[in-house]
């Protein structure tokens, strides 16, 4: 599961500072895009100071014709170049397929573990005790998707509420596999 990182906080700071620099022109951040007005710019997933510099130069050139002065462009460029390296991430609580035995930095394996409500406060704010209360006070459980085939979910009345193995009727039911010898 994706945990909140400093990268998201950096994006909020970037948004505020650039909004002030571009005289109120709306800027919207999506996990992989920056939207300036009606134009959408795709971002690279990971930024280093070198490729940030290239992207900022391209954006600055496109915006120069719209009245941004050299001082503003220089401020934007310097702001980006001061940032060492950050990753634009999926939202906290996102689940991705992963083939490794050890979770990458910023992620937890969906193995049902009880984790700290303080250490993972942002994740707890998203999932709460949906997947288990942990010890009831200082921990909560993350989902246990080991050996589970992912499929859509929802709150439809078509989901089984009587099955005691279901997550309170929210995520459907567990079913035995249909493998035959």
Enclosing H/E stretch for 39: strand 39-42
pTM (2 d.p.): 0.43
Helices (H), 83-158: 121-127
Give the chain's radius of gyration (CA, Å): 22
pLDDT digits (tens, 9 = 90+) for 34-45: 444 444 455 544
What per-residue confidence (pLDDT) applies to 65?
Answer: 43
Q: Which two tokens stand for residue 97?
A: 């397929």
């Amino acid at each position: 599961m994706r945990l909140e990182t400093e990268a998201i906080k950096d994006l909020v700071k970037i948004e505020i500072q650039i909004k002030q620099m571009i005289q109120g022109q709306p800027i919207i951040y999506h996990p992989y895009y920056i939207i300036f007005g009606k134009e959408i710019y795709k971002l690279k997933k990971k930024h280093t100071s070198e490729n940030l510099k290239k992207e900022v130069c391209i954006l600055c050139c496109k915006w120069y014709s719209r009245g941004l002065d050299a001082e503003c462009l220089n401020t934007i460029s310097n702001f980006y170049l001061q940032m060492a390296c950050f990753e634009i991430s999926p939202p906290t609580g996102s689940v991705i397929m992963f083939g490794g035995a050890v979770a990458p930095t910023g992620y937890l394996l969906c193995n049902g573990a009880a984790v700290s409500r303080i250490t993972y406060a942002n994740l707890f704010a998203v999932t709460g005790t949906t997947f288990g209360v942990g010890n009831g006070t200082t921990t909560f459980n993350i989902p246990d998707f080991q050996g589970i085939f992912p499929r859509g979910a929802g709150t439809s009345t078509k989901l089984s509420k009587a099955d005691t193995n279901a997550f309170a009727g929210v995520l459907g039911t567990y079913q035995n596999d249909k493998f035959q010898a």
